[in-house]
């Protein structure tokens, strides 16, 4: 996303996504526009002429705004995107949305997934096909031509990278899940055994309970912890995290897309869950009609926190145009990892990580909790402080947690 200073963004309204904001009443037109943008990513070096056209620059991009009647007017009348707080400075900034999630949301908001589109395809099948095609485009050797414009569009710095020479990357995707050089993401309070850290460069919201998360942020009508984990409501996994604490980490396209351990812990099992490719933009997550986190493709890693013995669920969630979720150290069952060590990465696209903690384990940092209650996301980096464990060493009693959750009969 492209940053706009808050005082500039405040000069015109922020669009609340609604199907009537675009004059087209035929969702086929939006699906065709998205397919055209994917095709252009093969043909054009400049990503701003395809999926990454920033909404606030649309008036100067006729190759893009002519795809749909009303797109230029929409971008002129509104700012399209989201406010975030930069943790390092406390500054409130506005991140302008690229065109592809805006059009993806139009398909969903137009009338839901029941609408059949071109060639009798559903919204889900269109988004899935587009995601697979875009992944193939950016895996190809020819895709390296788009790396310079991607860097320019998102002002991506190269000095932190393990490989700063962009000519060394063999595809766009290889640059997308680029590695940082050693020391680029130090862990805050590394000597504190009770500390937790951010697992990603991301826009972060945190909630002490799932109930609070569904009140302020995750508005999907059918969101539950069993649904997120893909387990039965009365399973041990579900009961362990009943009304537990939640950290939600949203990665934008320009972000460093490797993710890291938020804990000193031990790697456990992973479970892959097939699903959809909906956008994870906040306006979709905040919409009661869509259950983005429990519907999207995702992979669940279970870990054990060394200090307390508590389980942690690390859920890597794909999104619109995400090609794959890959585990590196997170795929090595039984391996001990320290805070800030790499667990895996996302291939091309936006994406989200949800970290679940058992109830009563973590106390999140004050600034993160206050921002999340607004609600507004906080822009953080891998290794930034997330919070602290409030349990003594070895203080987690799994059997007691399961008994208590089972007795409550909840499914939060």
Q: How far from chain centre, in Å, is Cα 63?
A: 28
**Catalytic choice (96, 146, 245, 351):** 351
Asked if 262 and 312 count as a contact pair (C-beta separation under 8 A), the reply is yes
Q: Which residues contact 224 (CB under 8 A, 6 or more apart)?
A: 233, 294, 411, 412
Q: Which string of DSSP letters, residue by residue, matches 113-182?
A: TT-B-GGG-BHHHHHHHHHHHHHHHHHSGGGGGGHHHHHHHHT--STTBS---GGG-SSHHHHHTPPBPT
**Catalytic choice (41, 52, 201, 299):** 201
Task: Report residue 173 as tokens.
Answer: 């995707």
- Residue indicated by tokens 């993710």: 259
User: Helices marked H in 83-122 — which ranges?
Assistant: 99-111
Residue 340: which of 304, 377, 386 has the closest Cα?
Answer: 386
Q: Is 385 helix (H, G, I), strand (E, B) or coil?
A: strand
Asked if 147 and 174 count as a contact pair (C-beta separation under 8 A), the reply is no
Asked if 199 and 343 count as a contact pair (C-beta separation under 8 A), the reply is yes
**Catalytic choice (260, 261, 291, 365):** 260
Residue 351: which of 233, 255, 240, 222 has the closest Cα?
Answer: 255
- 140 as an active site residue: the answer is no
Q: Is the dihedral of CA 180, 305, 332, 251 positive or negative?
A: negative
Task: Report residue 209 as tokens.
Answer: 């309970």
End-to-end CA distance of the chain: 33
- 260 as an active site residue: the answer is yes
- 52 as an active site residue: the answer is no
Q: Which residues are catalytic?
A: 201, 260, 351
């Amino acid at each position: 996303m492209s940053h706009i200073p808050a005082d500039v963004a405040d000069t015109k309204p922020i669009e609340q996504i609604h199907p009537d904001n675009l004059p087209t009443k035929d969702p086929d037109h939006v699906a065709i526009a998205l397919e055209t943008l994917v095709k252009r990513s093969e043909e054009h070096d400049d990503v701003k002429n395809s999926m990454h056209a920033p909404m606030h620059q649309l008036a100067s991009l006729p190759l893009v705004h002519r795809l749909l009647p009303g797109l230029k007017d929409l971008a002129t009348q509104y700012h399209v995107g989201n406010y975030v707080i930069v943790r390092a400075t406390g500054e409130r900034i506005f991140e302008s949305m690229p065109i592809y999630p805006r059009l993806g949301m139009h398909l969903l908001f137009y009338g839901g997934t029941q609408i059949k589109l071109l060639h009798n395809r559903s919204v889900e099948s269109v988004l899935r096909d587009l995601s697979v095609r875009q992944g193939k485009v950016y895996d190809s050797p020819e895709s390296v031509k788009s790396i310079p414009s991607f860097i320019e569009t998102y002002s991506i710095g190269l000095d932190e990278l393990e490989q700063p020479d962009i000519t060394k990357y063999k595809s766009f995707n290889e640059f997308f899940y680029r590695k940082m050089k050693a020391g680029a993401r130090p862990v805050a309070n590394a000597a504190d055994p009770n500390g937790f850290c951010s697992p990603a460069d991301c826009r972060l919201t945190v909630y002490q309970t799932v109930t609070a998360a569904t009140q302020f942020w995750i508005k999907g009508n059918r969101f539950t912890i069993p649904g997120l984990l893909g387990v039965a409501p009365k399973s041990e996994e579900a009961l362990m995290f009943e009304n537990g604490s939640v950290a939600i980490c949203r990665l934008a396209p320009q972000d460093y897309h490797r993710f890291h351990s938020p804990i000193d812990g031990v790697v456990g099992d992973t479970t892959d869950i097939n699903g959809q490719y909906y956008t994870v933009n906040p306006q979709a997550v905040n919409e009661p009609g869509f259950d983005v986190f429990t519907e999207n493709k995702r992979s669940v890693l279970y870990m054990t926190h060394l200090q307390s013995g508590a389980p942690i669920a690390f859920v890597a969630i794909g999104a619109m145009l995400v090609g794959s979720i890959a585990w590196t150290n997170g795929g090595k069952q039984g391996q001990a990892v320290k805070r800030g060590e790499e667990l895996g990465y996302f291939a091309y696209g936006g994406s989200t990580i949800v970290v679940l903690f058992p109830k009563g384990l973590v106390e999140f940092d004050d600034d993160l909790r206050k921002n999340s209650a607004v609600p507004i996301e906080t822009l953080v980096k891998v290794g930034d402080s997330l919070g602290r464990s409030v349990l003594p060493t070895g203080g987690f009693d799994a059997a007691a947690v399961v008994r208590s959750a089972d007795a409550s009969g909840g499914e939060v």
